[in-house]
Amino acid sequence: MDVKSIISQMTLEEKAALCSGKDFWHLDTPQRLGIESVMVSDGPCGIRKQSDAADHLGLNASVPATSYPTGSCMACSFDRELFRRSGEVLGHACQAEDLSVLLGPAINIKRSPLGGRNFEYLSEDPYLTGELAKNYINGVQRQNVGVSVKHFAANSQEYNRMSSDSVVDERTLREIYLSAFETAVKDSKPWTIMCSYNRINGTFAAENKRLLTDILRDEWGFDGYVMSDWGATTADRVKCLEAGMELEMPGKNAANDKQIVDAVNNGTLDIKVLDTAVERILNIVLKYTENKQSETKIDFEADHEEARKIADESMVLLKNDGILPLKRSQKLAFIGKFAETPRFQGGGSSHVNSYKVTSALEAAKGLDVTYAPGYDTNTTESDEALLKEAQEAAKNADVAVVFVGITDAMESEGMDRRTLSMPKNHEALVKAVSEVQKNTVVVVMCGGCITMPWIDDVRGVLYAYLGGEAVGTATLDLLFGDVNPSGKLAETFPRRLEDNPSYLYFFGDEQNKTEYREGVFVGYR
């Protein structure tokens, strides 16, 4: 179809409608002109397609899908090919579910280990982030499905995320916080970009012409469309459109559509600006609909195995003084609720309705394993009876494997962490077990950094991060040496929170300004 011909037949109201969603996930295309509506869906570590009740915080059910390791886990692979392959698998699933754009990858730089969405983000390093992201994008888009690279830009915290002002000097913005986006845009041509909620140096991202037009389009050559994060559009819809933010999500915001129509009619908005936005959106819509692969099917078992392989390559062995690999002939104690009910994904918009979840306890079926829960995940307080049971199991085993980490209540979209410590009952469990069993290995399941005051008291530490739905099988692959542990940390673990360069300035001041006073000195820098 000829896009300019389509635009010439659209009414002003249809053009305005196309610039905001039809509903929570669909675009409002001019179907009378033969342009079918398309759907976008959350990612990036698995599809979160919602057929009925919709939301952007992962509260309502979505269709069954494969849950892959989170970005924080996958980045530890340092493996471009793994990211490309992961993207291809996800793009294939999007075709099967008739999804035109997958909302991801999330490539913001980890300014602080307290960042609430750090489990989604890849690294503190712009080069690593850019290289991995562009391969993921190439993989997805090779399946003729678009991505929406997010969250553009300087979106480093969840606290006051709708209004906080990221105050960043030019060198820091360019070298640290824009660099990965630049690599992605120039090297993989993403179909869409998602602008963030926050302000950047006083201007909301959705209204930031310097960011969305001068840099993104004029400097880097981006030729897709920019969509808002869900609810990130400001009250001045016309100003957002003029800045280069084409698509408002979610819809339908009739008042904002009317703003556009009225502005064209009264001459305060040039119709050429609106037509350009419509053209950019239609180009991407047609790129998908004209090459749709409607016969595509998902092989959930094969994808589950792919999730296992990705986790195998990504988990990080932090310590081993000779205790690993374990032997299948040994008498083992698996201690900690996460051995039975693993924490394998983060909370919020990336939350996947997993096809199935394999725990370490399930994966160890047939081995001589005693299990003790050790703690209650609904509280942070220790239970003396559970600790005593755990110690008994540990004393009667050759090796105790303790499964601990961060709970869903402490780590999710919508909130930042306030501490790098694990819950008190997780800390107490490691201490209690290591006191009675010298052969103790700790498996950590969480999305980001923790402090480990107990690391000298145990013989091995496997950092599983949030390893996706096959996390239990992958954990055993590494513990028993079936797979060589090759993951390397993609972020710096401070010994204390105070050691992180952004510590004094992370949450911002009373004026809701977050000053990036540490400049380029992020993480290992």
- Tell whether pTM > 0.85: yes
Would you kindly state where each structural domain of the chain is located, as residue ranges? 3-289, 302-493
Helix (H, G, I), strand (E, B) or coil at 278: helix
Residue by residue, pLDDT tens for the chain (525 residues) are 899 999 999 999 999 999 999 999 999 999 999 999 999 999 889 999 987 656 655 556 789 999 999 999 999 999 999 999 999 999 999 999 999 999 999 999 999 999 999 999 999 999 999 999 999 999 999 999 999 999 999 999 999 999 999 999 999 999 999 999 999 999 999 999 999 999 999 999 999 999 999 999 999 999 999 999 999 999 999 999 999 999 999 987 889 999 999 999 999 999 999 999 999 999 999 999 999 988 999 999 999 999 999 999 999 999 999 999 999 999 999 999 999 999 999 988 889 999 999 999 999 999 999 999 999 999 999 999 999 999 999 999 999 999 999 999 899 898 999 999 999 999 999 999 999 999 999 999 999 999 999 999 999 999 999 999 999 999 999 999 999 999 999 999 999 999 999 999 999 888 899 999 999 999 999
Helix (H, G, I), strand (E, B) or coil at 401: strand
Q: How far apart are CA 417 and CA 423, in angstroms?
A: 12
Which residue is catalytic, options 165, 229, 257, 416? Answer: 229
3-289: CATH number: 3.20.20.300
Q: How far apart are CA 446 and CA 450, in angstroms?
A: 8
- CATH superfamily, domain 302-493, is Glycoside hydrolase family 3 C-terminal domain (3.40.50.1700)
Distances (CA, A) of 231 to 20, 248, 253: 11, 8, 10
> Does the active-site annotation cover 42?
no
Q: Compute the C-alpha angle 494/522/73, nearest 5°.
A: 65
Identify the helix (H) or strand (E) that includes residue 227.
strand 225-228
Contact call for residues 344 and 358 (beta carbons, < 8 A): no
Amino acid at 220: W
